[in-house]
Structure 1
Amino acid sequence: MILQTKFHGEIELVEEEIYRFDSGIPGFLEEKQFCLLTLDDTPFFVLQSVKTKEVAFIVTNPFEVFRDYEVELPDEVLSSLQIETELEVITFVILTIQDPFSETTANLQAPIIINASKKTGKQFIMNGSEYRTKHRLIEPPAEQGEE
């Protein structure tokens, strides 16, 4: 299938590269199919809607940036995504890209959870956690104390 994308132009996509988001993504409930595209020489990916060219999210693996980040999936999420083992799970967080890039934030409160083997996914909102929707991707340098 030929797919028009927001950042990669026209690409060829095979059915096996499509992830089903049965509940859509909050704010984009009609978008049920996505693919993951790499962004050259970066740790970032594009979660691109198959249906709508303009619906594309820049995502990254949160565990590479936020070393203490933890996600505990409730049984409802494990069941809905048919997750049987931890090895099936891929976790991403959506970035809000800013200019300058040092102002870019990550939504740690609502990670994207994907079952790589079943090709299913959903955005899991961690209500009641200390995580917020806007964590700085690059922490500013610590201020020097006054002497």
Structure 2
Amino acid sequence: MIQELDGKVIQLNGSLLGFGHLQEFSIHAVEGNRLFALLQSKEEEGVGFVVASPFSFFTSYTFEIAEEDKEAIDLLKPDDALILAIMTIKDPFNSSTMNLLAPIVVNIENMKGIQIVLPPKYEYQTRTSIAEGQLLKGGGVSC
């Protein structure tokens, strides 16, 4: 799914934690790698994040999107949701981490997105090692 959105602009409307002053981010697929993309601020050139679908790495990752968050991005169907997680890339790569506690939910129909913080019942972490996950072919969406 990330590849199909290459070059599109996502309206995050200040929901990205620590970057509330930024509204728009473009998504750029990493050439030659279907799993990763760069989420680049349109307002500040120096602000960008490596993102990936958490479902590509963690088979049991699941959560429910709160009604107010669905309403904020006009999300009507689960199939219209793209879930992204911000990564911290490390050397060696298998020590890289993914933020499973605060996923970004994007409505692919209108390109509105929101970063949400999951409630404590999920027990996810902001720095989950991708080595803990099980790499899937293709991944999936569950919300």
Q: TM-score, normalised by structure 1?
A: 0.81
Deviation sequence 1:66-100 (CA, Å, 0-9, x none) = 00000210101111110011121000100011122
- Cα distance in 2, alignment partners of residues 54 and 95 from structure 1: 16
Deviation sequence 1:36-88 (CA, Å, 0-9, x none) = 10111221011111111111110001111100000210101111110011121
Match of 2:103 in 1: 111
Identity percentage over the alignment?
A: 28
- Cα distance in 2, alignment partners of residues 52 and 24 from structure 1: 15
Determine which of 17, 32, 35 is the counterpart of 1:41.
32
Structure 2 residue 114 is the aligned partner of structure 1 residue 134: no
Deviation sequence 1:23-42 (CA, Å, 0-9, x none) = 33111111100111011122
Match of 2:141 in 1: none
Match of 2:93 in 1: 101
Residue 130 of structure 1 deviates from its aligned partner by 1.0
Question: Which structure is larger by alpha-carbon Rg, 1 or 2?
Answer: 1
Residue 122 of structure 1 deviates from its aligned partner by 1.0
Residue 127 of structure 1 deviates from its aligned partner by 2.3
Q: Partner letter of residue 92 of structure 2?
A: P
Tell me the matched-pair count. Answer: 125
Determine which of 68, 71, 83 is the counterpart of 1:91.
83
Match of 1:8 in 2: none
Task: Please provide the CA RMSD for this pair.
Answer: 1.4
Determine which of 60, 66, 80 is the counterpart of 2:58.
66
- Cα distance in 2, alignment partners of residues 26 and 66 from structure 1: 23
- Cα distance in 2, alignment partners of residues 112 and 139 from structure 1: 21
- Cα distance in 2, alignment partners of residues 50 and 23 from structure 1: 12
Match of 1:19 in 2: 10
- Which ranges of structure 2 fall in alignment gaps of 5 or more residues? 1-6, 134-143
Q: Partner letter of residue 131 of structure 1?
A: Y
Structure 1 residue runs of 4 or more that deviate by more than 6 Å after TM superposition: none
Q: TM-score, normalised by structure 2?
A: 0.83
Q: Partner letter of residue 65 of structure 1?
A: F
- Which ranges of structure 1 fall in alignment gaps of 5 or more residues? 1-12, 141-147
